[in-house]
Amino acid sequence: MEIENQNKPGSAAFRNSCIRCGTCCEKGGPCLHLEDRQLVDEGLIHTRCLYTIRRGEMVHDNVRNVVMPSPEEMIKIKGMESSWQCTFFNAAESACGIYRHRPMECRVLKCWDPSGIEAVYDRDRLKRQDLLADIAGLWDLVQEHERQCSYPKLKLILNDMDRNRDTGFQRTAVASTVTMVRYDREVRDLVVSKGGVEPGMTDFLFGRPLSKTIEVFGYKVREKDGKGALVRI
């Protein structure tokens, strides 16, 4: 990782305005706040361009610079497929594709003065309930998915499995984890195949696939011949 020289002319320490270097946009999309709801309601930011970080999911806190379980749900703009770069950032022109309608975090972010983003970073965050509560069937499904596949529940199972080496307990814990990962996958397939939901929207509805995020706990679910196994990575 390259560390910026704070004593170098042109570095953030010497700036008092944006020079459109694109560094902030390359580090990932912003988190949405209640103030940004209108952007989603009016289709200026489509939900296919969003993903949800669910409560308890391990995340990197950009302001505090630590990896920690998310204390609450967050909705963020997706990155590019192969990088964290915000999906709306045009790297060739070093420009934002939704600049006139950019979210609040983007408006207050100043790399030379972090006080603005620090003041709003963890306040009044937009949640799925704010956008989906009036869609009865879909919101019910999202809530059931959260009950079945919550990160606190997954972490408890894996922590207990690491502490208890009893064979019977291990077998039950593995089965519970595999069931959780399968449910997460199947509910995504269901809303796409039966509900007509765009595949790109499932990361917003149900968060990132559990089959991927479980890896931060040091495990992976492997399927073979209809049987699931939990393996360390």
Position 14 confidence tier, pLDDT thresholds 50, 70, 90: low
Please state, in angstroms and rounded to a whole number, the distance separating the CA atoms of residues 152 and 157. 9
* pTM of the predicted model as reported, rounded to 2 decimal places: 0.87
Q: What is the pLDDT of residues 112-165, one digit of tens each?
A: 898 998 899 889 999 999 999 999 899 999 999 999 999 999 999 998 888 888
184 pLDDT band, cuts 50/70/90, is very high
Both structure tokens of 171: 């077998």
Give me the amino acid identity at 69: P
Over 70: is that where the pLDDT of 168 sits?
A: yes
Confidence (pLDDT) at 3: 32
% of residues, the chain, pLDDT over 70? 93
User: Residue 196, Cβ neighbours under 10 Å: how many?
Assistant: 7
C-alpha to C-alpha distance for 119 and 123, rounded to whole angstroms? 8
- With cut-offs at 50, 70 and 90, classify the pLDDT of residue 13: low
CA distance 66 to 59: 8
pLDDT of residue 66: 79
154 three-state secondary structure:
helix
Under DSSP, the state recorded for 140 is H
Contact 94, 21 (CB under 8 A): yes
Short-list 126, 128, 156, 124, CA closest to 143: 128
